[in-house]
Structure 1
Amino acid sequence: MEALRLQPGDDLRGALQKLGRTGFVVAGIGSLAQAQLRFADEPGPAHLAGPLEILTLCGSLTPDGAHLHASVADATGRVSGGHVCMGCVVHTTAELLIAPLPAGSLTRAFDATTGYAELVVRAPPADLG
């Protein structure tokens, strides 16, 4: 497992995609100055004004992109959740736990059925040792 801390002003999705890593975000907490979340079956993201607390964050990371979901709470405790889009800006911190996987074990490819770049799982090479 790897721990990672994002800084104020970082774009949550952008920073994770920039890593170019393969693996899963298994946990995330922190705060956002604002969020852009796409709700189920909606064509685009909804803007949520902050400050917001990150209650949950998880998803998959590939060199081809990230698929992340989060739930956030506003100052009244109202909770919203959805697909993390660009524009989720870290307010004070974002603390993440990442489970790395071997390079090449996960990629993304366009799926005509869903209309999205979906996860492709590839078997890791056999250990010849």
Structure 2
Amino acid sequence: MQTLALRLNPGDDLRASVVAALAASGHQAGFVLQGIGSLDGAQLRYAGMPQPDALRGDLEILTLAGSISADGAHLHMSVSDAQGRVLGGHVCAGCTVRTTAELLLALLPGQRFTRELDPRTGYPELKIG
């Protein structure tokens, strides 16, 4: 395992940036071990829900973790709003960095992750190869 510290900038899309960082590293499998920072709104899909919910306003990233492949990422995150309320769920496109996001990635040399539609779940699920 190799690690990669990553800082995202204001305006970056969190999910797309994580996938791009994996591609730029030359690896085909990785994990986000942790992430903190701030967002200017987020798109989170809650357990059992078919569509993401749009969260508006300033948010603090409390936790961020998940798997990364060239096919995309499976990320979960918890955030707090200006009143300290905490929400969490599946990270969708549209989570925009407000001031910074600081992440630690674990890159897995020699591993290859892909995502394939699993008819049992209806989602593209991780395939380890």
Q: CA RMSD in A?
A: 1.1
Are 1:119 and 2:126 an aligned pair?
Answer: yes
The runs of 5 or more residues in structure 2 that have no matched partner are none
Identity, in percent, stands at 60
Which letter does structure 2 place at the counterpart of 1:17? V
Q: Quick one: distance in 2 between partners of 1:50 and 1:11?
A: 15
Which letter does structure 2 place at the counterpart of 1:83? H
Aligned length, in residue pairs: 122
Q: Quick one: distance in 2 between partners of 1:6 and 1:103?
A: 26
Q: Quick one: distance in 2 between partners of 1:17 and 1:97?
A: 13
Tell me the TM-score normalised to structure 1 length: 0.91
Q: Quick one: distance in 2 between partners of 1:97 and 1:35?
A: 20
Per-residue CA deviations over 1:59-82 (Å, capped at 9, x if unaligned) read 000001100000000000000000
Are 1:64 and 2:81 an aligned pair?
Answer: no
Q: Quick one: distance in 1 between partners of 2:110 and 2:100?
A: 28
**Which of structures 1 and 2 has the bigger CA Rg?**
1
Look up the match of 1:36.
43
Report 1:84-123 matches (<5 A): 84-102=91-109, 104-122=111-129
Q: Which of 9, 12, 24 is equivalent to 1:10?
A: 12
Tell me the TM-score normalised to structure 2 length: 0.91
The runs of 5 or more residues in structure 1 that have no matched partner are 123-129
Q: Quick one: distance in 2 between partners of 1:35 and 1:106?
A: 26
Which letter does structure 1 place at the counterpart of 2:72? G
